[in-house]
C-alpha cells in the first residue's frame, strides 16, 4: 500500500489523484454498479460481487440496493447485516459496522472531509503532474445491534455505541453512547433505551 493511501486511512491530508486510489475507486464504483444491475433473486451473483467489493464482511449480510461505495475495501461489516435502498458509504477512512445492524433507506456514512479555508481546497499540481486537491477524513464506527432509520446521515469521526437507535432524518454529527435514542438535525440523544422499552405481546 502506498504512503498516500496510508495517510488517507489515518485521517491525514492526502490526494485522491494517485494511480493506486484511482484503481481502488474505479473498482469500487464498478462493483457497486454491477451489484445494482442484479435482481434480488440473483443471490449467487450478488454474493460474488459483495465478496469482491467488501472483502471484510461477516455472515448473512443483505444489501437491497442500489448501493454506492467509494472503495468498499475499507469497510468492515459484521454478521447479520441489512441495508435498505440507496445505501451510500464514502470509506476514504475506515468504516466499521458491528453485528446485527439494520440500515434504513437513503442512509449515508460519510468519512470524507474538506478544509474550511478556501485556499486549502483549491486544485493544485500534484507530484504526478495532475491537477488535484488535498483532502482528509475521519473514521466511522457503528457498534453491534444498532438501527439507523431512513434518511440518516453519519458524519466523519462519529462512533455510534452498541444498541443505539438513530431516528429517521437524523444527521449524526458527534459520537453517541451505547443504548441511546438519537433524533434531530443535528442529532441529539433524547434518552437511554431501557428494558421499559420492551414491547408487550411480542414473540420474544
Residue 67 near residue 88, CB atoms below 8 Å: yes
52 backbone dihedrals φ, ψ, rounded to 5°: -80, -45
Instruction: Respond yes or no: is residue 29 known to be catalytic.
Output: no
Q: Where are the alpha helices (DSSP H) in the chain?
A: 3-9, 19-36, 43-53, 118-121
Task: Determine contact, residues 83/32, Cβ cutoff 8 Å.
Answer: no
Q: How many helices (H) and strands (E) would you count in the chain?
A: 4, 21
C-alpha cell at 115: 478544509
Using an 8 Å Cβ cutoff, are 143 and 166 in contact?
A: no
Backbone angles phi, psi at 29, to 5 degrees: -70, -40
| Selected catalytic residue, list 6, 12, 26, 114 | 114
Active-site amino acid positions: 114
Amino acid at each position: 500500500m502506498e504512503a498516500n493511501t496510508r495517510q488517507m486511512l489515518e485521517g491525514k491530508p492526502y490526494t485522491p489523484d494517485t494511480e493506486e486510489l484511482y484503481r481502488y475507486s474505479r473498482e469500487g464504483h464498478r462493483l457497486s454498479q454491477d451489484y445494482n444491475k442484479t435482481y434480488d433473486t440473483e443471490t449467487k451473483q450478488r454474493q460474488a460481487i459483495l465478496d469482491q467489493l467488501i472483502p471484510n464482511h461477516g455472515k448473512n449480510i443483505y444489501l437491497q440496493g442500489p448501493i454506492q461505495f467509494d472503495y468498499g475495501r475499507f469497510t468492515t461489516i459484521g454478521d447479520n447485516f441489512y441495508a435498505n435502498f440507496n445505501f451510500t458509504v464514502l470509506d476514504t477512512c475506515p468504516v466499521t459496522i458491528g453485528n446485527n445492524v439494520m440500515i434504513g433507506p437513503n442512509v449515508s456514512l460519510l468519512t470524507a472531509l474538506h478544509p474550511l479555508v478556501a485556499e486549502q481546497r483549491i486544485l493544485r499540481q500534484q507530484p504526478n503532474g495532475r491537477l488535484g486537491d488535498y483532502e482528509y477524513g475521519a473514521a466511522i464506527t457503528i457498534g453491534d445491534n444498532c438501527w439507523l432509520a431512513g434518511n440518516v446521515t453519519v458524519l466523519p469521526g462519529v462512533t455510534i455505541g452498541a444498541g443505539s437507535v438513530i431516528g429517521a432524518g437524523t444527521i449524526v454529527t458527534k459520537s453517541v453512547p451505547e443504548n441511546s435514542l438519537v433524533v434531530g438535525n443535528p442529532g441529539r440523544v433524547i434518552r437511554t433505551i431501557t428494558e421499559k422499552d420492551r414491547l408487550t405481546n411480542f414473540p420474544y
